[in-house]
């Protein structure tokens, strides 16, 4: 009732990207069995979607070299989606062969970023994704589309909202069921989030939008709040805030799932997720990585021994 | 790459403020030298404190809480309150409020040159008992003495209410209680009431509920929020407060000041991160973010600690 009265969504789907986006940006290579254990624990928290791995060449992303083993090794809980990244048709076929039932493709709103990241223009990347989307459609495999640099680019600086809307529209038109708008370097603020969403919402139905905020400048929760005030009901996050920022040494990256859930709980918004279970999964992976959590909720809770 | 990082410091200013959703200007109250340092383990030498405040005075901040006139027995970090007050450069147009828990502290503060003071109430009986060993009612009676003296000396008084969104001892705090204490302090003559989420447990939901209750008793123009980032909620909570018309926000350079109730956890929200957000919303603060970050770097080096400001961390080119 509380969330309804405030005009916020009643339910928000949390897409857990820790095992993929998170681990991909961690320096330490995580053994396969630890990855599988992490995903299995996350499957029991109530999270509706857990991004498992990435079917990219191990030459580019050594952390994801064990994609097949991870995909085959995890427990598949009913009601939980297990998307995987597939940058091209080859990766897509490999993913399907390994048992994937949902895939993601990664576009960008910045030409420079696209060139530096995947060595081709935005247009060329879209062509590759179209091939994936076509195969996926034939096999009834849902495809999620990501748009990177939605609020700023490490090379180009400011990104115009119209460009984000344009790329989003291309991905949606080719059949992506959901478009996740990523503040890749975390430079966005509630001001730029609002302007960007206003532009994108002209092209894509609200129900097909997600936000993927990085906390590099501490703005993530404020940006997520802005998005949900505008009706966005899907939020990406990473357990324990796994994953630093490759563009700002020592800085943080993904927003912590625990901190997002704490906020949504306080707003009376249903997520279906057990915060304590996520904290335990976070504790597990941080111990395995020998690092401190990036989640402030976890930091505060483990030190007082109580959850408020 | 350097150019990109600089660009990131100045997120595109927009007309969002003009759209009516947010205040056009926000007054940032810098509490680092007092609230921040008070909750840092290492005792900071007087010259360092003075230099910190002097550097902050160059950033465009209009209010810098300088020190606390409490007994050094209770707060050793603030033992040098007189020297600090007398040692800082007091720039015109900048206010340097100090904490005064009672009449004795008030008199010492004025003697040392203070032109504005603050008093600390709480919305929790248990917290008041544990913190200053009396009831809320008794604490307000003590403050009455300060108010009378302050009025006679034409010294403005800022009132703080602690535990507005939760208490480390009582847990949940009713919004009505916060409104009641705020109203009393405002009626006593405090020109501004700073509502403090002392243990950082608040969320945009509880912030909205609490402010709705308080705004029935105190005009929004006299309200400030003092959010702790212990659970990572500070900026989201501040955003909601701004949306409800609050235009005064407390923060601490480099996010100085841990939380005494959760070991190792963070406390105050970092001024740099707040200013970054306000800049992005097109809200005027008058604060130079780069100078602020430089000040944060100075005090963190002096304290041999890393900054708690994410903006600072991200912009660091080590």
Residues of B in contact with A157 (CB under 8 A): 3-4, 7-8
Domains in chain B, start-ordered, CATH in brackets?
27-315 (3.20.20.70)
Given an 8 Å threshold on Cβ–Cβ distance, is A222 in contact with B277?
yes
Q: What residue spans of B217-270 are helical by DSSP H?
A: 234-243
Query: How far, in Å, CA of A172 to CA of B229, rounded?
Result: 37
d(CA A229, nearest CA chain B) in Å? 11
Query: How far, in Å, CA of B285 to CA of B269, rounded?
Result: 16
Q: How many CB atoms lie within 10 A of CB A157?
A: 17
Given an 8 Å threshold on Cβ–Cβ distance, is A158 in contact with B7?
yes
Interface test with A, best of B269, B312, B314 (most A CBs within 10 A): B314
Q: Quick one: which of B103, B42, B105, B98 has its CA closest to B72?
A: B105
d(CA A107, nearest CA chain B) in Å? 21
Ranges A89-98, B10-19, B29-38, B163-172: which has the least confidence: B10-19
d(CA B261, nearest CA chain A) in Å? 7
Query: How far, in Å, CA of B35 to CA of B18, rounded?
Result: 33
B244-259 residue pLDDT tens: 999 999 999 999 998 8
Q: What is the pTM of this model?
A: 0.94
In a domain, A307, yes or no: no
Q: Which residues pair with B171 in a beta bridge?
A: B167
A185-198 residue pLDDT tens: 999 999 999 999 99
pLDDT at position B17 = 40
Nearest CA in chain B to A191: B281
In a domain, A2, yes or no: no
From the list A192, A216, A308, the residue facing B166 with the nearest CB is A308
pLDDT at position A64 = 94
**B203 shares contact with chain A (CB less than 8 Å):** yes
**B297 shares contact with chain A (CB less than 8 Å):** no
- C-alpha radius of gyration, chain B, whole number: 18
In a domain, A6, yes or no: no
pLDDT at position B86 = 97
**B124 shares contact with chain A (CB less than 8 Å):** no
Q: Which domain holds residue A296?
A: 13-302
- Which residues, other chains included, contact A196 with Cβ-Cβ below 8 Å and sequence gap of 6+? A150, A151, A161, A164, A181, A188
Residue A5: pLDDT band with limits 50, 70, 90: low
Q: Quick one: which of A192, A196, A140 has its CA closest to A168?
A: A196
Query: Percentages helix, strand, coil for chain A, rounded to the nearest 5?
Result: 45, 15, 40
Q: Quick one: which of B209, B125, B135, B132 has its CA closest to B169?
A: B125
CATH label of the domain that carries residue A201: 3.20.20.70
Mean of the per-residue pLDDT values for chain A?
A: 94
> How remote is the C-alpha of B137 from its chain's centroid?
24
Mean of the per-residue pLDDT values for chain B?
A: 92
Given a cut of 80, is residue B204 above it in pLDDT? yes
Q: Is B214 left (phi over 0), alpha (psi -120 to 50) or beta?
A: alpha
Total structural domains within chain A = 1
From the list A155, A188, A296, the residue facing B232 with the nearest CB is A296
Given an 8 Å threshold on Cβ–Cβ distance, is A188 in contact with B231?
no
**Mean pLDDT to the nearest integer, A70-93:** 97
Q: What residue spans of B112-251 are helical by DSSP H?
A: 125-132, 136-152, 175-188, 204-214, 234-243
From the list B199, B202, B277, the residue facing A190 with the nearest CB is B277
């Amino acid at each position: 009732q509380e969330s309804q009265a405030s005009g916020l969504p009643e339910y928000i789907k949390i897409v857990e990207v820790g095992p993929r986006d998170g681990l991909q940006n961690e320096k330490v290579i995580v053994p396969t069995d630890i990855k599988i254990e992490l995903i299995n624990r996350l499957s029991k928290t109530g999270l509706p979607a857990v991004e498992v791995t990435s079917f990219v060449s191990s030459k580019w992303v050594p952390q994801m070299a064990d994609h097949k083993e991870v995909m085959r090794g995890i427990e598949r809980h009913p009601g939980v989606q297990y998307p995987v990244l597939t940058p091209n048709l080859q990766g897509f076929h490999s993913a399907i062969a390994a048992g994937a039932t949902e895939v993601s493709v990664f576009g960008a709103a910045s030409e420079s970023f696209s060139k530096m990241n995947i060595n081709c223009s935005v247009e060329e990347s879209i062509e590759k994704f179209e091939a994936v989307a076509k195969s996926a459609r034939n096999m009834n495999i849902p495809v999620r589309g990501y748009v990177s640099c939605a609020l700023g680019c490490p090379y180009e600086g400011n990104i115009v909202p119209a460009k984000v809307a344009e790329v989003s529209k291309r991905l949606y038109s080719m059949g992506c069921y959901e478009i996740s708008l990523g503040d890749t370097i975390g430079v966005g603020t509630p001001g730029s989030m609002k302007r960007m969403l206003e532009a994108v919402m002209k092209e894509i139905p609200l129900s097909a939008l997600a936000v993927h905020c990085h906390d590099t400048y501490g703005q993530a929760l404020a940006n997520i709040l802005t998005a949900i005030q505008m009706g966005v009901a899907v939020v990406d996050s990473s357990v324990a805030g796994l994953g630093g920022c490759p563009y700002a040494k020592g800085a943080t990256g993904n927003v912590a799932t625990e901190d997002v859930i704490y906020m949504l709980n306080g707003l009376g918004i249903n997520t279906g997720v057990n915060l304590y279970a996520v904290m335990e999964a976070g504790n597990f992976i941080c111990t395995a990585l020998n690092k401190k959590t990036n989640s402030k909720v976890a930091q505060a809770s483990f030190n007082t021994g109580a959850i408020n | 790459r350097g150019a990109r990082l600089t660009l990131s410091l100045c997120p595109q200013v927009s007309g969002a403020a003009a759209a009516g959703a947010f205040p056009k200007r926000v007054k940032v109250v810098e509490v680092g030298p007092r609230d921040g340092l008070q909750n840092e383990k290492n005792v900071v030498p007087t010259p360092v404190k003075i230099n910190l405040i002097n550097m902050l005075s160059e950033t465009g901040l209009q209010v810098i809480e300088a020190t606390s006139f409490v007994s050094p027995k209770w707060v050793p970090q603030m033992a040098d309150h007189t020297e600090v007050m007398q040692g800082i450069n007091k720039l015109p147009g900048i206010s340097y409020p100090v904490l005064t828990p009672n009449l004795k502290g008030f008199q010492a503060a004025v003697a040392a040159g203070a032109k504005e003071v603050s008093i600390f109430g709480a919305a929790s009986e248990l917290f008041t008992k544990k913190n200053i060993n009396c009831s809320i009612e008794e604490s307000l009676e003590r403050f009455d003495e300060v108010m009378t003296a302050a009025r006679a000396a034409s010294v403005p008084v800022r009132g703080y209410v602690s535990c507005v969104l939760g208490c480390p001892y009582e847990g949940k705090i009713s919004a009505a209680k916060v409104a009641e204490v705020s109203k009393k302090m405002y009626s006593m003559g405090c020109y501004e009431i700073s509502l403090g989420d002392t243990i950082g447990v608040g969320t945009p939901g509880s912030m909205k509920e609490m402010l709705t209750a308080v705004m029935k008793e105190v005009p929004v123009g006299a309200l400030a929020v003092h959010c702790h980032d212990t659970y990572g909620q500070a900026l989201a909570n501040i955003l909601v407060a701004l949306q409800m018309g609050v235009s005064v926000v407390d923060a601490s350079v480099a996010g100085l000041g841990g939380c005494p109730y959760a070991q190792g956890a963070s406390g105050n929200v970092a001024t740099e991160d707040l200013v970054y957000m306000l800049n992005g919303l097109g809200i005027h603060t008058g604060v130079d973010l780069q100078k602020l970050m430089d000040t944060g770097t100075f005090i963190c080096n002096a304290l041999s600690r890393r900054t708690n400001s994410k903006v600072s961390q991200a912009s660091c080119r080590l």
